[in-house]
Amino acid sequence: MLKRLRREFIAITMLLVGLVLAGVLGITFFANAASLRAGADRILDRAVERGVSVGQLGDPTGTMGSDYMLAAVVDISREGAVLVVDETPFDVPLETLRAVILDASSSEASSGRCDEYPVMWKRAETSWGYRIAFLDTYTIDMALRDQAVTNVGVFLASMGALFAIAYVLSGWALRPVERAWRQQRRFVSDASHELKTPLAVILANTQILLKDEGVPEESRRWVESTADEAKHLRDLVEDLLTLARADEREAAGTARESVPEIELAPIVSECCLEFDAVAFERGCTIEQELSDDVRAHVTPDDYGRVVRTLLDNATKYASEGSAVSVRLGRSGRRSRLQVSNFGEVISPEDLEHLFDRFFRTDRARQRTDEGGFGLGLAIARGIVEAAGGTMSATSTAEDGTTMTVVI
C-alpha cells in the first residue's frame, strides 16, 4: 500500500507541475509566434503601401543584413503580366517567384502563406492591377523551430529533475506514515498472537462444561453461546493474523520469482470440487472453463484460499437455479481467474469499498446466519497483491458480478 501511495504521490506531483510547466512554455511559444507573425504582417503592409522592400521592423531600408526578414514587391497588370520587380536583397529563384505569384494572384484572400515555400504574401489592388508583397519567413520558421526544440528540452530536463526531487521528498513525507503503518501491523500481529492462548483456554473450558452432565440444561445454553462466540473470535483472530502476514510479505517486497511457479488449473479444479456440495445446498451449480498450462509465482495454499473465498462469496449470493462460472486462462504473460455469478447487483458505491477490511454490503449485513467479518475479500486481495497481482470486481444486471484475479 505504501509503495502504491508513493507512486501516486509522485504521479500527482509530476502531473500538476508538468501541466503548469507545459502551460507556461506553451504560452511563451505561442506569444512569441504571434509576435513574429504580427511583425511580418506589418512589414508586408509597409511593403505594399510604399512599394519598396523592407527589412525588420524599424529598418525600412533593409540595411541590417540578411539575418532580418526581407520583403520583395511585384506589380502585376490585370492581364497577369509582371510590370515591376522591386530590387531587394531577398534572393528569390525565378521558378519560386512564379509559383508564389500564381498562388497569390489566384487566391480569393488578400493575404496568405505558401505551402511549398517559406514565404508569406499580401496583395493590394492598384490602378494598373495588383501589387503583391512577399516576405521570406525562413528566419521566423527557424526561430520558432529552435524555440520549440528548446522548450521540449527544458520540459524533459525539468520533469527528470522533478521526478528525482519528488522521489526523495515522497520518501521523506511518507516516513511517518510508514512508521505508523509498521506499528499498526506489529500491533495486530502481536495482539492476535496474545489472544490465541486465552481463546484456546475458553474453548477448552466450554467443551469440558458441555461434556459435564452435572451442568443444568438451562445453564447449558449459556455455555453453548459462549463457545460459539469464542469460535467466532478465534476465526477473527486467524483472519487478522493472515492479513498481518500478507502485509508483511508485501512490505518486504520479496521478488515473485523467489516463489516457485505452479500450475493453477489443478488448484482451481480441486476448489470447485470442494464447493460442489455447497453450491447444491444453496441452489446453484458451478461451471468450469479451465485452460491448461496456466502458471504463476504463488504458493498453492495462498492461491487455494483466494479461490475458495471467491467461490464462497459467489455461491452464497448467487440466485437460486443459476450457475457460478469459473474461468481460468492467460492474459499475455499473466494468469487470469474470473469467478462470476448472477444475483443481486452490487451498487457502484459498494464496489469501491468491496475489498476494504471489515466492509460488508447491505445484503450481507441482513444475512447474519452466513457469519463472516467482512475480511474474506480483503485477505484475498492482500494475498494477490503480495504475489504481485491485482484483484478487481464488476457488477451489472446483464453480466452479473465478476471477480477477476490477475497474477
Q: Answer for the pair 33, 24: CB distance below 8 angstroms, yes or no.
A: no
Higher pLDDT, 101 or 335: 335
Q: What is the pLDDT of residue 70?
A: 62
Beta-carbon contacts of residue 239 (< 8 Å; ≥ 6 apart) = 373, 375, 376, 379
For the chain, the residue count is: 407
Q: What is the pLDDT of residue 141?
A: 85
Report residue 187: phi and psi, to 5°.
Answer: -65, -45
Topology classification of domain 256-406: Heat Shock Protein 90 (3.30.565)
Architecture of the domain spanning 175-252: Orthogonal Bundle (1.10)
Q: Answer for the pair 316, 286: CB distance below 8 angstroms, yes or no.
A: no
Backbone conformation region of residue 374, classed left if phi is above 0, alpha if psi is from -120 to 50, else beta: left
Query: Which of 41-50, 69-78, 376-385, 394-403 has the least mean pLDDT?
Result: 69-78
Q: Is the pLDDT of residue 81 over 90?
A: no
Q: What is the pLDDT of residue 24?
A: 94
Name the pLDDT band for 407 (thresholds 50, 70, 90): very high
Q: What is the pLDDT of residue 45?
A: 81
Q: Answer for the pair 395, 338: CB distance below 8 angstroms, yes or no.
A: no
**Residues above pLDDT 90, as percent of the chain:** 26
Q: What is the pLDDT of residue 132?
A: 81
Which cell goes with 293?
498450462
- Which residue ranges does the chain devote to CATH 3.30.565.10? 256-406
**Entry pTM:** 0.53
Nearest alpha carbon to residue 389 among 318, 333, 320: 333
Which cell goes with 49?
503601401
Name the pLDDT band for 247 (thresholds 50, 70, 90): low
Please tell me the distance from the alpha carbon of residue 197 to that of residue 190, in angstroms, as a whole number. Answer: 12
Lateral strand order in the sheet of 390-396: 285-290, 323-331, 334-341, 400-406, 390-396
- Which residue ranges does the chain devote to CATH 1.10.287.130? 175-252
Please tell me the distance from the alpha carbon of residue 123 to that of residue 211, in angstroms, as a whole number. Answer: 111
Q: Largest alpha-carbon pair distance within the chain?
A: 130
Q: Answer for the pair 244, 188: CB distance below 8 angstroms, yes or no.
A: yes
Q: How far is CA 36 from CA 32, 88, 132, 403, in A?
A: 6, 21, 20, 59
Mean pLDDT of 344-369: 70
Tens digit of each residue's pLDDT (9 = 90 or more) over 111-163 = 887 777 778 888 888 777 788 887 878 888 888 899 999 999 999 999 999 99
- C-alpha 78 chain-centroid distance: 63
DSSP 225-242: HHHHHHHHHHHHHHHHHH
Tens digit of each residue's pLDDT (9 = 90 or more) over 305-337 = 899 999 998 998 898 889 999 999 998 889 999
Averaging pLDDT over each range in 57-71, 114-128, 134-148, 178-192, which range is the top one? 134-148
Q: Is the pLDDT of residue 54 over 60?
A: no
